[in-house]
Amino acid sequence: MLIQWTDQFATGNALVDQQHQALFAAINQFQEALDNAAGATQVDAMLEFLDRYVGEHFTTEEFLMLRSEFPDITLHKIEHERLMLRVTFIRDLRRQDPALAPAEGLARFLGDWLQNHIMQWDMALFNHMREHHLSE
């Protein structure tokens, strides 16, 4: 099932919203590749992209947390790190041998994770920033 970005995911920060939309699109492309039984090369290229792009996106958010003195920065960063560990681990295993870590189910997991994470964690950050008049 594909995921759909709607206004409920809008944080009000233009850069973060753009990155979240790009992630929705990348996860959907990944899902479609898996659904169409794409070859390992294509699946791995998408996984490499997601690994890099998710990392860049988390850095953007973590910079905003630091700058706005977000009180739950440590817990929020741990959420990011747990996701990165999982994605990077699967990518690394697949670099050795794609059979070691089948990618089926990964796009769905990422889609669910992203939607829940935005609603629960990112919204808390941007609410904090708005309360302190730092939302840009």
Gap between the Cα atoms of 124 and 136, Å rounded:
15
Q: How far is the CB of 79 from Fe ion (least distance, A)?
A: 7
Question: Does residue number 17 form part of the binding site for Fe ion (CB under 5 A)?
Answer: no
Residue number with CB closer to Fe ion (101 or 123): 123
Could you tell me which of 14, 6, 4, 3 has the C-alpha nearest to residue 126? 14
Q: How far is the CB of 93 from Fe ion (least distance, A)?
A: 25
Dihedrals phi, psi of 36, to nearest 5 degrees? -90, 15
Gap between the Cα atoms of 38 and 44, Å rounded:
10
Gap between the Cα atoms of 26 and 49, Å rounded:
8
Residue number with CB closer to Fe ion (63 or 89): 63
Residue number with CB closer to Fe ion (13 or 31): 13
- Contact (Cβ atoms closer than 8 angstroms) between residue 31 and residue 111: yes
Place of tokens 């992630």: 23
Kindly state the number of chain residues that form the binding site for Fe ion, as judged by CB under 5 A.
3
Q: How far is the CB of 102 from Fe ion (least distance, A)?
A: 27
Site for Fe ion in 65-124 (CB under 5 A): 121-122
Site for Fe ion in 52-71 (CB under 5 A): 61
Q: How far is the CB of 65 from Fe ion (least distance, A)?
A: 9
| Site residues (vs Fe ion, CB under 5 A) | 61, 121-122
